[in-house]
Structure 1
Amino acid sequence: MTVKAVIFDIGNVLIEWNPERFYDWQIGRAEREALFAEVDLHAMNEEIDAGGPFRETIYAWADRHPEWQSEIRMWFDNWIDMASPAIDGSISLMRALRARGMPVHALTNFGIHSFAFAQTQYDFLSEFDRAFVSGHMGVTKPDPRIYELVEQETGLAPHELLFTDDRQDNIVAAEERGWRCHRFDGWQGWARRLVSEGLLTETEAGL
């Protein structure tokens, strides 16, 4: 079976995404734990990933929790500090694949406006052949519909797609459709998978 496109998740594959680490740095671990226990900030972010407006969604949540208003607003005001640093090894793999002529796409849970902003901060986010962004698609991983839409848009069969993501639930949903998958736990493991598939040499993969 021949891979005809490689698909990257973005968060914790190409860019580190760790809001808890950011808040530990800003307000201390104890305060962060109290904040996250009282306010489901990941649910707030899921609203954005599903297409909700970036600033307006976050500020509305902040207004509903006045005791944490300034801290919640940090999710917008300091967002780039949460979505960093870039994972250089993964970026090199993406570029090596494209240099080989392999189509490389993104499939990411990301808001419309937050993704547009991220593209101004990270040039490689504009280098995909196609970027499938949940905010634009109106559906998020691991809903089977998002994988179906990628198949329809690329015109490729599930077994022709090789996908990496750090979340097991997203991997399972893709595998259930017949996608070839790699659970991302570091760029070196992903590099070895790409070599084993015959898509890159060890030298091209940085191994």
Structure 2
Amino acid sequence: MIKNIVFDLGNVLINFKPEKYLERTLENKSLVNMLCKAIFNSPEWLELDRGSISLEEAINLMCEKNMGIAGYIRTCMKNYHNMFTPVSGTVKTLEILKRNGFRLYYLSNFHLKAFNYIFNEYEFFSLFDGGVVSSHVNLLKPQKEIYEMLISKYGLVAGETLFIDDTLENIISAGVLGFKTLHFKDVKDANKIIDMVNQYITRGG
């Protein structure tokens, strides 16, 4: 029986679409592509998620590697938190699940500063019973240790816990540890989460 539901944040509960974010302010498609590569697909972005580097250090390294667009990088990194908006359908699902007695948690790869922003900005975090963020513990999904940390911290039983994520590698790691899993492929399908949860319950799992 499912008692706990663990949500990823990015593109499940929080929109994370860097290219669309940049296209709102920049008309030059080539520049948008360069910025996406220099920032969001960079090793520094990953290390920010891991919590092993400060935001200032990351920005400086990004700029050193991409001197021609350094000004754009700095501007983007001052305002990038503006792209983190709630996925309204999934937030409504959280409310329904909470009313129905499920314990709710989050497990996400997220920068320290960015997570602090969304945690303080959006009231739906009050619905959670807890969670683990990568930058707080210097671990990243799909490392098994970050899932084990969530289990240990909140006394969860993996077989009683449904894990929802948009990244297949993260789903696979959770499944290996015994979690029930749902691969969340499209944010437009947020309203179907209840149906997917009910399928597991109906099957007795």
Deviation at 1:3, TM superposition (A): 1.1
Q: Which moved more, 1:105-114 or 1:52-61?
A: 52-61
Deviating above 4 A after TM superposition, structure 1's stretches of 4 or more consecutive aligned residues are: none
Change (3 A) 1:57 1:123: farther
Other-structure match for 1:190: 193
- Structure 2, unaligned stretches of length 5 or more? none
Aligned CA distance change for structure 1 residues 88 and 143 (closer, same or farther; 3 Å): same
Query: What does the per-residue CA deviation read over 1:72-119, in whole Å, with 9 as the maximum and x for residues that have no partner?
Result: 2244311223223x1111101111111222110000101222111112
**SS where residue 131 of structure 1 aligns?**
strand
Percent of residue pairs identical: 27
Verify the 8 A CA contact 1:58 1:75 in the aligned structure 2: no
Q: Secondary structure at the match of 1:73?
A: helix
Work out the CA distance in 1 between the residues paired with 2:63 and 2:50: 21
Higher mean C-alpha displacement, 129-138 vs 41-50:
41-50
Q: Following the alignment from structure 1 to structure 2, what is the Cα–Cα distance between the partners of residues 163 and 196?
A: 14
Show the counterpart of 1:151.
151
Distance 1:127 1:57, change over 3 A: farther
CA displacement, residues 33-83 of structure 1 (integer Å, 9 cap, x when unaligned): 23345x253332211111145531343134413211122224431122322
Q: How many residues align?
A: 196
Contact 1:134/1:140 (CA < 8 Å) preserved in 2? yes
Aligned counterpart, 1:81: 82
Inter-CA distance 103–47: structure 2 relative to 1 (3 Å threshold): same
Task: Structure 1: state its 5+ residue gaps.
Answer: 200-207
Tell me the residue number matched to 2:129: 129
Normalized against structure 2, the TM-score is what? 0.86
Q: TM-score, normalised by structure 1?
A: 0.85
What amino acid sits opposite 1:152 in the alignment?
A: S
The CA distance in 2 between the partners of 1:115 and 1:139, in whole Å, is: 15
**Partner of 1:7 in structure 2?**
6
